[in-house]
Structure formats: C-alpha cells, structure tokens
Amino acid sequence: MSPIDAAALKKDFPLLEREVDGRPLVYLDSAATSQKPRAVLDALNDFYEQHNANVHRGVYALAEEATAMYEAARHNLAAFVGADPRGLVFTRGTTEAVNLVAHSWARPNLKPGDEILLTELEHHSNIVPWQLAAQATGAILRWVPVTDDGLVELEAMSGLITDRTKLVAISGMSNVLGTIPPVAEIATLAHDAGALVLVDGAQMVCHMPVDMAALGVDFLTVSGHKMLGPTGIGALVADPEVLDVMEPFHGGGEMISEVFPDRSTYKEIPNRFEAGTPAIAQAVGLGAAVDYLERIGMEAVRDHERELTAYALERLPKVGARVFGPADPDLRGDAVSFWLEGVHPHDLAQLVDREGVAIRAGHHCAQILMRRLGVPATSRASFYVYNLREDVDALVEALGKAKAVFE
C-alpha cells in the first residue's frame, strides 16, 4: 500500500473541492501544471500582506524581510536538489532556464562541427533553444533514438558520444511516456568524452528524489508550477564553476556591479543572471511548496505515484486503450499516454470532461516523439500526491462511456 494518505492530502488543495457539471473534479493533468496546497497559497498572501517590498535594494525593514525570504527560498530549493545555492538562478521556469544555457554557454562556446546530443523523448523546450544555438554557431544536433517501449537506446547513445560532443541535453523524466532515463550513467558517458550535461528536470524534480551531485550533471532545470508552486517561477541549477564563466543572459538593473558609458561590470553568481525585479512572491511560494513536499518525503511521493501508475497500466488496456511507454512502473514516472482506438484524443478529452475527468490531449510539445510513436497525438493522464486509485477508476469508467458514444 502507498505510504501517502492521498485522501487526507487532497483536502489541502482548495481547487480539488470543485465540481464540473455537478460531478466531483478528477484532476489528471499534473504533468501540465500541479494544483496548489493551502500552504503555498497562504505563503503568497502572507508575503503580499506583510512583507511586500523589492529585494537587494532597500535597507528598511520590509525590504530586508523580503530579501531574506527570497534568499531563503533559494537555499531551500538548492538543498532540495542537492546543489550549491550559489549555482541556483531563479528563472520564469524550465523554458527560460534552457534558453539561458543555450544563450550564455552554448553560443560563446560552440563552433562549427561541434555536436549537441538530444533524445527523441525531448519536450520542445529542450529542442528549440538548441536548434537556435546550432544555427547561430554552426553546431550540429544529433539524435538518440528510443526503443518501441519508450526507453533511451543507451548503446546508440554511447556510439553517438564522441570528442565532437559538447553537450548532452536530456529529459530526466518524459512528460509523455514517463520514461526515466539513467541520468547518472549518461552523465558519466558524456563527461568521459569531455561533454557537459543538461537535464530537463521539469517532470523529474517534482516526482522523485533528486540529488544533483549524485547525478553528476552540470545543469538542471526546475519548473515551480509542476511541483505545487506558483506559475512564473523556476530555476536553473548549475555547477558554480561552469556558471561563473558564463556571460549574462538578460541585462538591466540589479545584475550589475558598475555601469560606464561604454561598458558594464557584473555581479557574482547567481545575481549576475537575475536582472530586474525578480518573481519574489513566487519564489517564496515555491519555497513553501518545497517545504510541503519535504514533509511528505520524496521517496513516499515516488512510491505513491509508482503504485498509481502500475494500477493505470493494468486497468487502461481493459477498456481498449493502447498505452505507450515502459511496461515496468519502476522505469517510468506519473505520466501515462494512451490511444483509444476509434476516438481522436481531442474528442476523448472533451467527452471524459463531461464526467468531471480532466486529462490532456495533443502532442504535448513533443512532436518528434509523436512521429516516433506513429500517432498525431495521445491522451495523457498524469498523477500527483493528491490522486487516488479511485481517480484511475473514474478515468476508466469515463473512457468506457466515451467509447460507447463512438461505437
């Protein structure tokens, strides 16, 4: 049995008390964005009601309180992923974090003929920035295939990593298939060839224990809104030695040391990469989300979602759904994508919504993977700490009704 009392935790999330057309809401789209517990909502309100001021500027009480809370959130998140807070840059989310590396590391360091290694699992946020960097530098993108059951082909990856490889950018957990690649093993292969490693942690950090030092990666991205935090906040976590030699991404106030008519000098990391007024309240809210998850325990989160995923993998085929991705729940996270024969995913999502069940339909910002799977889109259910086995039952029942409509 799962060590998490999801029924009790669900009461911490006000939105999950909603009904849809008179039916209880069954929210199964946490891979897109998670719901927010009362503790996070209270932290946001408390900041605006009691501490609202700009950070790193004023010397009055409110400003010092705001700065302390903002920096406490940085240290909190850094500890959560086993990293040095000097290497944690707050961003708007994973997309901005990847773009920061593509702009400030890749463009100055890559030259024609250098290679960036990606996999067919990647989200567009971990593809398009590298395409732009390659176009600007003459670098080349190489693609690691995935197997029919959605696993990264490590043998192929090993053959593709050469002395021309300068960066391996890989999802820590697929947002479509839930696949969890062996990141530490991949990092060793890359480092042995002299390449750096970036992990898209948008799905990974919120669903399993993460220790950046143990993984041995150089860059890790974090999405706050997928881990119970507010929207508009995330982070790039980097090896401080790598980050220290990178140029700024954005220019403006607060990231400078001195400004002259013809040049400027910049602050030390991480402030060098946080131009302008940051998302202060959102960072504080993210810190509260980290506290909430730590109280549960990330091992318990992982165990709970593994159990739910295994149950979904067992039940979905019984209603005629073709499930994509690894068959072993130990090799995948919370996202379960499927195709119900004879029903387009968009139609399916609308029909199950009538039963109060919220799932995602589309290409999930992973069109390369969709082509690999041979489908234009999939339906996707994704779970989190507030989901129950009964939610899977509700999904299966709704799928049965939708199928009957088309039959």
Question: What CA–CA distances, in Å, run from 365 to 70, 299, 361?
Answer: 31, 28, 11
Strand 256-259 relative to strand 360-362: parallel, antiparallel, unpaired? unpaired
Name beta bridge partners: 238: 219
Biggest distance spanned by C-alpha atoms of the chain: 72
User: Which parts of the chain sit beneath pLDDT 50?
Assistant: 1
**Same-domain check for residues 197 and 328:** no
**Same-domain check for residues 343 and 245:** no
The model's pTM is: 0.97
**Same-domain check for residues 71 and 149:** yes
**Is 157 domain-assigned?**
yes
pLDDT tens-digit readout, 23-70: 999 999 999 999 999 999 999 999 999 999 999 989 999 999 999 999
Q: Which of these three, 269, 294, 319, is where a domain ends? A: 294
**Same-domain check for residues 20 and 48:** no
**Is 35 domain-assigned?**
no
**Same-domain check for residues 225 and 350:** no
One-letter amino acid of 110: L
d(C-alpha 366, C-alpha 268), whole Å: 36
Q: Which of these three, 294, 320, 337, is where a domain ends? A: 294
3-class secondary structure per residue, the chain: CCCCCHHHHHCCCHHHHCEECCEECEECECCCCCCCCHHHHHHHHHHHHHHCCCCCCCCCHHHHHHHHHHHHHHHHHHHHCCCCHHHEEEECCHHHHHHHHHHHHHHHHCCCCCEEEEECCCCHHHCHHHHHHHHHHCCEEEEECECCCCCECHHHHHHHCCCCEEEEEEECCCCCCCECCCHHHHHHHHHHCCCEEEEECCCCCCCCCCCHHHHCCCEEEEEHHHCCCCCCCEEEEECHHHHHCCCCCCCCCCCEEEECCCCEEECCCCHHHCCCCCCHHHHHHHHHHHHHHHHHCHHHHHHHHHHHHHHHHHHHHHHCEEECCCCCHHHECCEEEEEECCCCHHHHHHHHHCCCEECEEECCCCHHHHHHHCCCCEEEEECCCCCCHHHHHHHHHHHHHHHHHHC
**Same-domain check for residues 167 and 24:** no
Residue of 72, 140, 300, 365 marked active site: 365
Examine the residue annotation and report whether 206 is marked as an active-site residue of this protein: no
> By C-alpha distance, which of 355, 353, 354, 405 is closest to 379?
353
**Same-domain check for residues 276 and 308:** no
Q: Which of these three, 245, 267, 294, is where a domain ends? A: 294
**Same-domain check for residues 267 and 373:** no
Write the CATH number for 394: 3.90.1150.10
**Is 198 domain-assigned?**
yes
**Same-domain check for residues 263 and 120:** yes
**Same-domain check for residues 238 and 335:** no
pLDDT tens-digit readout, 174-219: 999 999 999 999 999 999 999 999 999 999 999 999 999 999 999 9
**Is 36 domain-assigned?**
no
Number of domains in the chain: 2
**Is 211 domain-assigned?**
yes
List the domain range (segments joined by +) for residue 356: 6-30+298-406
Q: Quote the pLDDT of residue 2.
A: 54
Strand 256-259 relative to strand 335-340: parallel, antiparallel, unpaired? unpaired
The residue behind tokens 């700024």 is 248
> By C-alpha distance, which of 99, 33, 54 is closest to 283?
54
Q: Which residues contact 336 (CB under 8 A, 6 or more apart)?
A: 178, 309, 312, 313, 316, 323, 325, 380, 381, 382, 383
**Is 1 domain-assigned?**
no
Question: Which tokens in the block code for residue 132?
Answer: 């732009």
The residue behind tokens 């290497």 is 87
**Is 219 domain-assigned?**
yes
**Same-domain check for residues 288 and 306:** no
Write the CATH number for 127: 3.40.640.10
Q: Quote the pLDDT of residue 406.
A: 85
The residue behind tokens 């997928």 is 226
**Is 321 domain-assigned?**
yes
Tell whether omega for the bond before 270 is within 30 degrees of 0, i.e. cis. Answer: yes
d(C-alpha 147, C-alpha 154), whole Å: 10
**Same-domain check for residues 115 and 249:** yes
Q: Quote the pLDDT of residue 1.
A: 45
d(C-alpha 376, C-alpha 252), whole Å: 42
